[in-house]
Amino acid sequence: MKILIKGGRLIDPANSIDDQLDVLIENGCVAAVGTNLDSDNAQVLDATNRLVVPGLIDVHVHLREPGYEYKEDIQSGTRAAVAGGFTSVACMPNTDPVNDNKTVTSYICQKAAEVGLATVFPVGAITKGLKGESLSEMGQLREAGCVAVTDDGRPVDDGEIMRRAMEYARSFDLPVISHAEDLAIVGGGVMNDGFVATELGLKGIPWVAEDAMVARDVMLAEFTGARLHVAHVSTRGAVEIIRAAQKRGVAVTAEVTPHHFTLTEEAVRGYDTNAKMNPPLRSADDVAAIRQGLADGTIGVIATDHAPHHRDEKNVEFNIAMNGIVGLETALPLTLRLVEEGVLSLSEAIARLTCGPAQALNLSRGSLTVGSIADVTVIDPECAWKLEAEELLSKSKNTPFDGWSLKGKATNTLVRGKIVYNSDEV
């Protein structure tokens, strides 16, 4: 089975390529990249006026299976992923049961293989049951297929446990993903602490709750030599702490979500529960700092924190609504807005969605180097479309971008050389 992607603008930031090039795919791998490639018996995919990029990678996704299939499952989640241009997703362990043991990891891998859409890289728990008390069996998690560990959704509150987790994870070369918030400082907060919270009479989550924990975890990484990845950075302080640590040579990477670089706390006005997330949408100053961090490479990863919730969990008073929004199908156009706004070059934007995430979690993906696995996304950068939440492929429709006019869409998504999404056939 051969596929020839012809006539597109190939952007492969890992190899510093941005050129009019064809890609030949054979046996699930990239067989050749060049001009005027020809192959007698290949299926030709016309990519004229399209971008051809390494398959997008999302290192922060909640697939909700096992346990919360009423919100999302591996089938619906990976369907949404490939429709959004993502060929690989890393799924968080806060399922039920928690992915803190090899049985759950194996189940996820097996189910994802059966579905056969995006590649799913499970992320295991740092502590058993996400309770923050004792370490999970990280060696066996790694053997079963986990690519990193995190207690995402919760910080590891106890500094000693986090220290030991980093020391232990290092033995298996597992990156540790920090969900950074000091819960005591968060208190009962439900949105960013600032003027909007004061006016709306909602309890605030101050930036220092995030900064304090990022500082602790960065220092623990420096001390232990572990690889740290900071999830969903949302504050100016966090960006500055990470930037300074990277300059000192600490092995720390960071991600930001499209909603944190697109929206501010103002989106909460009207008590819109689709603007409720953790960390909360922050101030305009924080958003500016995050964008600066993306531009200078401090933040090398754009990740969605795709967090599907059932309608009934959002259609309630703001205080008691669940945190989070879906993101797999909106990440690409929202990232391309950064290019239009001059924050990132097109190549940098693609890097934040491909080789950046691959590097952060050591994934053998994210480039179109000859011989590598043929995960490819073909994008129509000019395609203008209106987001209708009800049309999302995710089981859940919780998005603050409903009705937004967006530009840019994945038209073909190839995983291991197989076309798993074609926008013409949807």
Tell me: is residue 170 an annotated ligand-binding position.
no
Tell me: is residue 232 an annotated ligand-binding position.
yes
Tell me: is residue 63 an annotated ligand-binding position.
yes
Supply the minimum distance, in Å, between the C-beta of residue 271 and other proteins: 3
Tell me: is residue 60 an annotated ligand-binding position.
yes
Q: Which of 153, 275, 156 is nearest to 226 (CA)?
A: 156
Supply the minimum distance, in Å, between the C-beta of residue 191 and other proteins: 10
Tell me: is residue 278 an annotated ligand-binding position.
yes
As given in the structure block, the two tokens for residue 255 are: 């991600």
Task: Look up residue 69 and give its DSSP letter.
Answer: T
Q: Is 19 a catalytic residue?
A: no
166, containing H or E segment = helix 159-171
Q: Which residues contact 199 (CB under 8 A, 6 or more apart)?
A: none
Supply the minimum distance, in Å, between the C-beta of residue 179 and other proteins: 24
Tell me: is residue 229 an annotated ligand-binding position.
no
C-beta of 197 vs 393, nearer to other proteins: 197
Supply the minimum distance, in Å, between the C-beta of residue 194 and other proteins: 6
Q: Report the distance separating Cα 367 and Cα 364, nearest Å.
A: 9
Tell me: is residue 64 an annotated ligand-binding position.
yes
The residues of the shown chain that bind other proteins, judged by CB under 8 A, are: 187, 193-195, 197-204, 206, 270-271, 312, 315-320
Supply the minimum distance, in Å, between the C-beta of residue 188 and other proteins: 8
Tell me: is residue 152 an annotated ligand-binding position.
yes
Task: Look up residue 400 and give its DSSP letter.
Answer: T
Write down the catalytic residue from 12, 211, 286, 305: 305
Q: Report the distance separating Cα 374 and Cα 27, nearest Å.
A: 9
CB 353, CB 57: distance < 8 Å: yes
C-beta of 87 vs 273, nearer to other proteins: 273
Task: Look up residue 55 and give its DSSP letter.
Answer: P
Cα angle 28, 33, 36; round to 5: 120
Q: DSSP per residue over 101-138, as a string?
A: SHHHHHHHHHHHHHHTSSEEEE-B-SBGGG-SSSB--H
C-beta of 78 vs 192, nearer to other proteins: 192
Supply the minimum distance, in Å, between the C-beta of residue 81 and other proteins: 31
CA-CA distances (angstroms) from residue 11 to 131, 321, 380? 43, 40, 13
C-beta of 312 vs 424, nearer to other proteins: 312
Q: Report the distance separating Cα 73 and Cα 67, nearest Å.
A: 9
**In 263-360, where does DSSP find H-type helix?**
284-295, 311-314, 331-340, 346-353, 355-360
C-beta of 151 vs 210, nearer to other proteins: 210
The pair phi, psi for residue 268, each rounded to 5°, is: -75, -20
Q: Report the distance separating Cα 243 and Cα 222, nearest Å.
A: 13
Q: Report the distance separating Cα 347 and Cα 10, nearest Å.
A: 10
C-beta of 288 vs 370, nearer to other proteins: 288
**Residues flagged as binding site:** 60, 62-64, 94, 152, 179, 232, 278, 305, 309
**Residues flagged as binding site for Zn(2+):** 60, 62, 152, 179, 232, 305
**Residues flagged as binding site for substrate:** 62-64, 94, 278, 309
Annotated catalytic sites, by residue?
Answer: 305
